């Protein structure tokens, strides 16, 4: 059967190229898409063809698998996001391109279906050796490849009407050309495609709206998930709080006695078991320089716009090695870093990732953030805006007083929810009816004698209570009756007295606020585990919550606007959770985690090393050189085994010579006998091998007889003879090869 570009089972001209160009455009790789399209459509512009055979198609499939594995490894080493599989699947068109090219440039009209199954190929080999005739199902991979390309394009993050229109157009073209129904009934197929497009567009819009709705409600997982804007606690929830043992950050501290609390984010508004970041109006600063930002501008109307408007970029400068350095005060760049406590922090990051830092951090150094920077808000949260890579390694210099926390706000930093302060309920007239059987934050503050105490004494008294025999730490909450989130903290203080760090920290903040002492809630990590080389390993199980308490000399509402915070007090950390909380939770690690830790460290260290400015070029050139050499070897082998698509005067292709297993000895004969003259018969020329290797002459003549029978006998070879013919030629190839190596 002759191959034709107009074969109805193969895509028409330009459809494969158009689909690949579309994929490259929507995924942000137009050059790659253009190169793939030119290679795929080059079959129409050249008559070069190859007889790949079953073995050649299998090699093309193996090459595609190797490219897929390399893509997976490369994406993993790049420190990609958690949806790693989607990022790899987006490169399916490139990985599977060898299979498409083998189909497009092959002399065969189809590809055996068992090419993609090792088990099916092994069964076929057994059948042939037993003399049974096997004819594998032949397919054309053009349309399946187009489907995979469109699936890969759908994995892009583009959200435009043009993307959906392009998908509908390409899918319609594929359906029309692949099915004869589309050509016989154009009106019917047109109406069906239009209806499918309208329904698909409606479904896409509906799914997007559903996702946005669910994300706004359930987008923040419970139990310690940290963002710069909110922290959904597990307060009021029952059952075991499970935290990951995976390493989130690694911190190398040069100061042995430094604080082991590494804060990621701070919050000042509590409601319904969730802490929020509410912007604090600008009040302090003491005349220090403020980086150019948007805090002085009027923020948008939504809460999200207001929170984003609270972030300011840090001052930055470029170091001689090309890395960036950031500081809260530009004068810090001129100070000797040796006077500061130095920490080296390394971990996985994403967009707007809060950084775990000591509360007195002054300078950050060693970043690659060409498309973004580092910003901070009025509560002291410092986040990395748009990192260039999935893993970051930087230096933090800490010491002195904090420069990036706003003065206490008389309203935000003293807010206590009414349901926690005075437990009760709303009646039909929207009036709050206190519950006389329950003690609230107000009652407990009076009972504990916190009112009127300075911050130092109040925190000491709270710590004595929490560290005493009445309160206990537990990650498992198994109450018989669920505690409503709106008064879960007051119930924890007065009834259950069992909870985890979120309970202790939230309760301490609300008690201090009720006593008139400004306090804020913050989350991060507590250094509890140190590796052999001195690094603090901050795992998910080390996630912690504590307080920031204002130690001042006057009430916050009496501090004048524009005052220097150092003149009236400072924010200090207060950890209200028992120091042995990790012992209660359990710090033992399964043996498998030591292997996982080693592998994670190796991966992160390699990525950091590879992305350093001095190493990036070297690694890229090494990859390009190795890839070019492998590509050159492949091109040379293909060029040596090429053939041409010959056409008669009428423009139709002549029937190609029927190949037999004896033709597989042609390349071996060329090396021993030299090229065959066109006027000399193939069998006469191949028998010359018997003169050079007399031991194979008898088998060679028997193979020639099989060859003649296969080509010229109308009956052809019997199934058993086909198997014997292939085994005979394989044995001849091995015998001649051994004889050649023996010489």
State pLDDT tens for residues 245-270. 888 999 998 777 777 899 999 999 99
Number of residues written out for the chain: 743
Strand, coil or helix: what is 106? strand
Kindly tell me if the per-residue pLDDT of 323 is higher than 60: yes
* Radius of gyration, CA atoms only, the chain: 36
Residue 460: count of CB within 10 angstroms of its CB: 13
Asked if residue 593 lies in contact with residue 63, where contact means CB atoms within 8 angstroms, the answer is no
Is residue 563 within 8 Å of residue 283, measured between CB atoms? yes
Q: What is the pLDDT of residue 645?
A: 55
At residue 525 the predicted structure's pLDDT band, cuts being 50, 70 and 90, is very high
For residue range 474-495, what is the model confidence (pLDDT) as tens digits? 877 765 444 555 688 888 888 8
H or E stretch at 324: strand 324-327
Q: How far apart are CA 36 and CA 24, in angstroms?
A: 9
Q: Are 104 and 132 in contact (CB under 8 A)?
A: no
Instruction: Determine how β-strand 48-50 pairs with β-strand 261-267.
Output: unpaired
* pLDDT per residue as tens digits for the range 655-691: 445 778 888 888 888 888 888 877 788 888 888 888 8
Between CA 736 and CA 672 the distance in angstroms is 10
Element (DSSP H or E) covering residue 169:
helix 161-178
366 backbone φψ class: left, alpha, beta (φ>0; ψ -120 to 50): left
User: How much of the chain exceeds pLDDT 70, in percent?
Assistant: 83
Query: Contact 412/476 with Cβ under 8 angstroms?
Result: no
Question: Residue holding tokens 């959200």?
Answer: 159
Mean pLDDT value across the chain: 80
**Mean predicted confidence (pLDDT) in 53-64:** 90
Residue 8 predicted with pLDDT over 60: no
Q: Residue 193: left if φ>0, alpha if ψ -120 to 50, beta else—which one?
A: alpha
Closest CA to 519 of 275, 226, 274: 275
How confident is residue 159, by pLDDT bands cut at 50, 70 and 90? Answer: low
Other CB atoms within 10 Å distance of the CB of residue 447: 11
Average pLDDT over residues 514-521: 93
Report pLDDT for 719: 79
pLDDT category of residue 346 using cuts at 50, 70 and 90: very high
pLDDT digits (tens, 9 = 90+) for 352-390: 889 999 988 999 998 887 767 898 888 889 998 878 788
Angle at 626 between CA 39 and CA 81, to 5 degrees: 80
Q: For residues 376 and 402, what is the distance between their CA atoms, to the nearest angstrom?
A: 13
Instruction: Give the pLDDT of residue 588.
Output: 62
Rounded to whole angstroms, the Cα distance separating 140 from 82 reads 35
Which residues does residue 653 pair with via DSSP β-bridges, in sequence order? Answer: 647
Check: CB of residue 305 under 8 Å from CB of residue 275. no
CB 109 within 8 A of CB 2: yes
Reply yes or no on whether the pLDDT at 168 is more than 60: yes
Q: 494, 487, 483: which is closest to 444 by C-alpha? A: 494
Convert 657-678 to b/e letters by CB count within 10 Å (16 or more is b): eeebbbbbbeebbeeeeeebee
What's the burial of 87, exposed, middle or buried (CB within 10 Å: 0-12/13-18/19+)?
Answer: middle
Q: Which of 233-242, 245-254, 307-316 has the highest mean pLDDT?
A: 245-254
Q: What is the pTM of this model?
A: 0.68
State the pLDDT at residue 39.
92
Task: Assess contact for 145 and 99: CB atoms under 8 A.
Answer: yes
CA distances from 590 to 254, 519, 584, 587, 600 (A): 29, 39, 17, 10, 16
């Amino acid at each position: 059967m002759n191959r034709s570009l107009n074969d109805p089972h193969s895509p028409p001209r330009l459809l494969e190229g158009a689909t690949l160009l579309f994929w490259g455009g929507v995924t942000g790789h137009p050059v790659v898409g253009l190169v793939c399209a030119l290679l795929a459509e080059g079959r129409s512009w050249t008559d070069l063809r190859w007889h790949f055979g079953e073995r050649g198609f299998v090699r093309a499939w193996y090459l595609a698998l190797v490219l897929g594995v390399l893509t997976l490894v490369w994406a993993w080493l790049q420190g990609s996001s958690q949806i790693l599989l989607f990022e790899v699947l987006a490169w399916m068109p490139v990985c599977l391109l060898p299979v498409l090219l083998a189909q497009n440039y092959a002399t065969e009209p189809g590809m055996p279906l068992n090419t993609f199954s090792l088990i099916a190929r092994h069964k076929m080999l057994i059948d042939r050796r037993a003399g049974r005739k096997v004819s594998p199902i032949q397919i054309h991979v053009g349309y399946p490849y187009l489907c995979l390309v469109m699936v890969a394009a759908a994995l892009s993050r583009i959200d435009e009407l043009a993307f959906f229109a392009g998908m509908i157009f390409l899918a319609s073209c594929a359906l029309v050309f692949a099915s004869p129904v589309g050509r016989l009934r154009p009106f019917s197929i047109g109406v069906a495609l239009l209806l499918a497009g309208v329904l698909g567009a409606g479904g896409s819009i509906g799914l997007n709206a559903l996702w946005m709705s669910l994300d706004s409600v359930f987008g923040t997982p419970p139990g310690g998930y940290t963002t710069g804007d909110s922290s959904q606690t597990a307060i009021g929830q029952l059952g075991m709080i499970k935290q990951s043992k995976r390493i989130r950050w690694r911190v190398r501290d040069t100061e042995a006695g430094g604080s082991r609390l590494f804060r990621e984010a701070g919050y000042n508004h509590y409601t319904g078991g969730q802490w929020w970041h509410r912007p604090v109006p600008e009040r302090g600063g003491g005349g220090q320089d403020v980086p150019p930002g948007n805090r002085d501008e009027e923020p948008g109307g939504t809460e999200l716009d207001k929170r984003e408007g609270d972030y300011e970029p840090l001052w930055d400068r470029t170091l001689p090695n090309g890395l960036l350095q950031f500081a809260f005060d530009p004068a810090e760049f001129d100070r000797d870093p040796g006077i500061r406590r130095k920490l080296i922090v390394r971990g996985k990051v994403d967009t707007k990732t809060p950084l775990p830092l000591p509360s007195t951090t002054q300078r950050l150094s060693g970043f690659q953030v060409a498309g973004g920077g580092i910003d901070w808000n009025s509560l002291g949260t410092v986040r990395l805006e748009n990192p260039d890579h999935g893993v970051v390694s930087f230096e933090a210099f800490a010491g002195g007083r904090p420069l990036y926390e706003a003065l206490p706000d008389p309203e935000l930093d003293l807010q206590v929810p009414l349901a926690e302060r005075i437990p009760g309920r709303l009646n039909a007239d929207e009036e709050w009816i206190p519950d006389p059987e329950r003690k609230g934050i107000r009652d407990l503050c009076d009972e504990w004698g916190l009112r009127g105490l300075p911050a130092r004494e109040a925190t000491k008294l709270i710590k004595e209570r929490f560290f005493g025999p009445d309160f206990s730490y537990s990650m498992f909450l198994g109450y018989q009756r669920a505690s409503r989130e709106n008064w879960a903290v007051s119930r924890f203080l007065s009834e259950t007295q069992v909870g985890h760090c979120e309970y202790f920290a939230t309760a301490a903040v609300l008690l201090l606020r009720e006593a008139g002492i400004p306090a804020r809630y913050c989350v991060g990590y507590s250094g509890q585990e140190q590796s052999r080389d001195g690094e603090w390993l901050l795992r998910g199980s080390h996630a912690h919550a504590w307080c920031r308490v204002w130690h001042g000399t006057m009430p916050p509402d009496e501090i004048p606007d524009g005052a220097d915070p150092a003149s009236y007090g400072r924010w200090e950390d207060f950890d209200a959770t028992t120091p042995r909380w990790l012992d209660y939770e359990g710090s033992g690690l399964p043996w498998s985690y030591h292997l996982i830790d080693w592998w994670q460290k190796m991966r992160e260290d390699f990525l950091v090393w590879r992305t350093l400015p001095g190493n990036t070029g070297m690694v890229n050139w090494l990859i390009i050189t190795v890839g070019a050499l492998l590509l050159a070897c492949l091109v040379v082998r293909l060029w040596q085994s090429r053939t041409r698509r010959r056409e008669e005067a009428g423009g139709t292709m002549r029937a190609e010579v029927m190949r037999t297993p004896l033709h597989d000895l042609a390349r071996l004969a060329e090396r021993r006998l030299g090229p065959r003259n066109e006027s000399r018969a193939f069998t006469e020329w191949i028998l010359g091998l018997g003169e050079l290797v007399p031991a194979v002459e008898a088998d060679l003549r028997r193979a020639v007889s099989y060859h003649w029978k296969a080509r010229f006998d109308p009956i052809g070879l019997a199934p058993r003879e086909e198997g014997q013919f292939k085994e005979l030629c394989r044995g001849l190839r091995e015998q001649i090869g051994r004889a050649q190596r023996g010489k």
